[in-house]
A and B are shown apart, each in its own frame.
Chain A
Amino acid sequence: MVTAFKDEPITNHFLDHNSQQQNEQILQINHLEIFYGEKRAVNGITLDIEKNAVTALIGPSGCGKSTFLRSINRMNDLIPGARAKGEIIYEDLNILSEDINVVALRKEIGMVFQKPNPFPKSIYENITHALKFAGIKKKSELDVIVEESLQKAALWDEVKDRLHKSALSLSGGQQQRLCIARTIAMKPTVMLLDEPSSALDPISNAKVEDLIVDLKKDYSIIIVTHNMQQASRISDKTAFFLSGDLIEYDATEKIFTNPSVKKTEEYISGRFG
């Protein structure tokens, strides 16, 4: 039954199913396949991502959800031998296309990683680093953006007195919020979060979760998570991946209360994965 989802008629079923809500779509993914060398990691996935919503990708390790996520801002380009087939449509452009300027793309589709990875620079410079490269040089302008993005990331109050201290002096949770802040500073439209709180303690985790819910007003968020509770708490839509296939994609509430596919139910109730 897994293979059945690769066929076109059934993928259309997803679209029909969601049509009641008719929300605006920010990304349309059609028959996306991703290969590492000869090995196929993602098997022809079709799904749409809603604007200003949190979409959670769940599934056991190695199911292809992170690979899928990384293909949306072409981070997979960095992996030798990785290639993608199919389409990811963003603003009427296929972003997998050869003539996409990945640098400009990544400004609009930002990414936050599993492990907090601030630059070994000051907190301030962490945020201004990419801004300066994008051409914003005026100190007054930078100051405003730094404060704004730290505010949005709910970090401003904790760091405003030590903006010029090393970012590495922050706690893990603060570092991760700084990473989110520096992505926000670029004013992206889509934010990709790859298990952003899995390396954090419960309190930091809760802060990051609140932040994500808060951010969806302005951004469309796709989050990969291993944590079922997290997915159910913060996401609007949930996609369940298994061995490179999309098993089920629906409103989060539906997935967690009444999934249509048995595999989903088994995974969510913790029977494997």
Chain B
Amino acid sequence: MEKLIPAKERLLKSNKKWMDGELRGKILVILCAVIMISVTISITIFLGSKGLQSFIHNGVSLIEFITSKHWNPTNQASPQYGALPFILGSFAVTFAAALVAAPLGIGGAIFMTEIAPSWGKKILQPVIELLVGIPSVVYGFIGLTVLVPFIREHVGGLGFSLLAGTIVLAIMILPTVTTIATDAMSSLPKNLREGSYALGATRWQTIRKVLIPAAMPNLLTAIVLGMARAFGEALAVQMVIGNVRDIPSNILDASATLTTIITLNMGHTTYGSVENNTLWSMGLILLIMSFAFILLIRYLSSRRKM
């Protein structure tokens, strides 16, 4: 085209015209990446420093905060800031939900991959996708109008309870557990199954002795991801759990979690007050836990590679 121009001018980078657009594009996408990093870092820094204020500025004892079971911030004379009931509540409801969702989710995954791989997946897959699509407030609302009265009338207690929270959360994390467990099961090499069947094992023996152990790290990842979601879920739990400040003595007792206390009180405490600051400390615990879940998942996936 422009062959009359000497090669040096055509081919050397000194001719920078073309590089303008190239550079602009590169800067643009790098900027996007930088924004993602800075958002993550600022979330960590802002929530970190805000969460520590109650300990540094307001003199709330960290030990009291995480070990005392007395939460009474509005007591003028001697306010008490023990968040243990909420921390325990969060863990209790998370583990209980995982306990319900794990067998269902993994069972569903095995159904889709081992029992009825042809049509089972066609039915269950869209079911799972639809479950994901239901917003968490809708889960909370149905929990409130169906589950809570049901428990009150047929099981006992007030209805607002750890049990109600557990069931709602279990259904909410079921799609997460099922999806990842299905991926785990279907990525197992075919010869595992064939080898086991060739030795005369039944399907159940193959599943229990060969497939589940082989997929174990991935199945655990599925459960941990589900738990991470359960630990951070706020509104659905808040609507059904009852939100009391005592440690529940059994599963039918009302309870509270970190997220439900934050949800409930953030709006009507004064920004900057001690009580408000302790809510931010609870938020910090949520943040730290979500880092912990990531580390746990990384640990599991590093085990998988071995």
Contacts and interface: CB of A to CB of B under 8 A. Distances in A.
Contact of B13 (A90, A100, A134, A189): A100
A92 B10 CA distance: 12
B15 interface: yes
Contacts of A104: 10-11, 15, 18
Interface in B1-37: 1, 3, 7-8, 10-15, 18
A134 B18 CA distance: 10
Contacts of B14: 99
Interface in A54-93: 90-93
A27 to B, nearest CB: 13
Contacts, number: 35
A87 B18 CA distance: 25
Interface string A165-188: 000000000000000000000110
Contact of A99 (B3, B10, B12, B18): B12
Interface residues on A, range: 10 to 19
A134 B7 contact: no
A9 to B, nearest CB: 31
Interface residues of B, number: 11
Contact of A93 (B1, B11, B15, B18): B11
By secondary structure, the B interface counts as mixed
A105 B1 contact: no
A108 interface: yes
Interface in A115-148: 134
A75 to B, nearest CB: 16
A91 B8 CA distance: 8
27 contacts: A90-B7, A90-B11, A91-B7, A91-B11, A92-B7, A92-B8, A93-B7, A93-B8, A93-B11, A95-B11, A99-B14, A100-B11, A100-B12, A100-B13, A101-B11, A101-B15, A101-B18, A103-B18, A104-B10, A104-B11, A104-B18, A107-B1, A108-B10, A134-B1, A186-B1, A187-B1, A189-B3
Interface of B: 1, 3, 7-8, 10-15, 18
Q: Which 5 A-B pairs have the closest CB atoms?
A: A91-B7, A99-B13, A101-B13, A187-B1, A104-B11
